[in-house]
Amino acid sequence: MHIKKQRLLTPGPTPLLPAALHAMMGSDIHHRTEDFRTLYKQVLSDLKDVLGTSHDVLVLVASGSGGLEAATQNFFSPGDEVLVCSAGKFGERWVEIMKAWGMKATVLTAPYGDAVQPEAVEQALARNPNLKGVFVQASETSTGMQHDVKAMGLAVKKTNALFVVDAITGIGTMPLDIEGWGLDVVVGGSQKAFMIPPGLAFVAISPKAWAAADTAKAPRFYFDLKKERKNAVSGESAWTPNTALLLAFAEALKYIKSIGMDKVVENAQLLARATREAMQALGLELFSTSPGSSVTAVRPPAGMDSGVIIKEFRNRFNAIITNGQGSMKGQIFRLAHLGYFDFHDLFAIVAELELILAANGHAVRFGSGVAAVQRVYAEVALPKLELALS
């Protein structure tokens, strides 16, 4: 009642891994020393392992959007014709970046909550052989939707266009076969599934993308990926790196490797599934028609502003969850599953949501949402008991 631990339960920044947090205190190292080079090489190599790719992966000092910008300016030229799949606030960010870099974007939009269909991408590519790139979100964090990047990637792979994927919340929440599916440029960020604070972006780059970089004319300086690649070979970053975050990153990658990336993805998928079943048990509607596993967007009961739920989580339980962005504000609340989230967190969130709904005049059978989460847990982790219960 009176002691309320603060809990950060948003889809970025996400809860921090304690070992990573503690590691940040060792940041009194210089970045042009052997100690640093050992750390940096380890991070780059573990990151490739975790992403399951032999492509170059480079780390930048920036939030995720810096990675999106780098993915644009290094591989394209002003005036290039590109295709953008936009189905939420982050899809709209791609459109703004295209505009800033003077690229001619054709935009395939889907209403908030829906996905752009791979067939539409395929048709657009067939209509316009000049397309130099296709830009998409693997997971659209603003709506809780995930795109079929596999089908899209296989379609783009057959063309000369590059497939550029904002996988900032896709990584660690859905399978991503970077090489098999033809994901040419994949962007990630530290504060999502990687369990560390904001401030690092990273980019995985295919040979097809590097070839495009040779003729791309957009100006670049700070985010010059070729320069970054040259330095990375000797274990250094082009500019002064964020040593504190790299120390944290090394710990987080070690932790993720000890679990296995496939298990980290399964963790998010199970939490997402349990959340969907709990919301259904509580009579709440999901916002997305193609829900992903990074975050679940939920509509509040009819007549209730979702801001009430967010405020109640904060005031009663000191728990920070997110509202909808832009025009979705007040229409949805979002429950995150990516990174350092576990079933313990979800049990508490659902139990608290039941109390919050009841406190605001919504009829709730206490325990019905929690029981849905228990059923999913039991089915996966207590198979014998599941038989007895059914």
Residues that bind ligand PLP (CB under 6 A): 12, 63-65, 90, 137, 141, 166, 168-169, 189, 198
Cβ-based nearer residue to ligand PLP, 137 or 374: 137
Cβ-based nearer residue to ligand PLP, 301 or 324: 324
Q: Which residue of this chain has its Cβ atom nearest to ligand PLP in the complex?
A: 64
- Segments of the chain assigned E as strands: 7-8, 56-61, 81-86, 104-109, 133-137, 139-140, 145-146, 162-166, 185-189, 200-205, 295-298, 319-320, 322-323, 333-336
Q: What's the min distance (Å) between Cβ of 297 and ligand PLP?
A: 12
Cβ-based nearer residue to ligand PLP, 90 or 194: 90
Inter-axis angle of helices 243-259 and 34-51, to 10 degrees?
A: 40
Q: What's the min distance (Å) between Cβ of 168 and ligand PLP?
A: 4
Phi and psi (nearest 5°) for 94? -55, -45
Q: What's the min distance (Å) between Cβ of 336 and ligand PLP?
A: 10
Cβ-based nearer residue to ligand PLP, 169 or 243: 169
Cβ-based nearer residue to ligand PLP, 295 or 376: 295
Joined tokens for residue 94: 């791609």
Cβ-based nearer residue to ligand PLP, 16 or 357: 16
Q: What's the min distance (Å) between Cβ of 18 and ligand PLP?
A: 22
CA–CA dist 245, 234 (Å, integer) = 20
Cβ-based nearer residue to ligand PLP, 169 or 242: 169
Q: Contact 42/354 with Cβ under 8 angstroms?
A: no
Measure Cα distances from 76 to 65, 72, 97, 187, 211 in Å: 17, 6, 12, 16, 11
Q: What's the min distance (Å) between Cβ of 187 and ligand PLP?
A: 8
Cβ-based nearer residue to ligand PLP, 166 or 236: 166
SS3 call for 23: helix
Cβ-based nearer residue to ligand PLP, 65 or 117: 65
- Peptide linkage before 11 cis (omega within 30 of 0): no
Q: What's the min distance (Å) between Cβ of 171 and ligand PLP?
A: 10
Residue 363's nearest CA partner among 354, 373, 372 is: 354
CA–CA dist 249, 44 (Å, integer) = 10
* DSSP state letter for 139: E
The torsion of the CA quartet 19, 24, 26, 32, rounded to 10 degrees, works out to: 130
Residue 261's nearest CA partner among 4, 46, 51, 1 is: 51
Q: What's the min distance (Å) between Cβ of 122 and ligand PLP?
A: 23
CA–CA dist 326, 332 (Å, integer) = 11
The two beta strands, 295-298 and 333-336, are: antiparallel
Q: What's the min distance (Å) between Cβ of 61 and ligand PLP?
A: 12
Joined tokens for residue 305: 């502003």
Q: What's the min distance (Å) between Cβ of 209 and ligand PLP?
A: 19
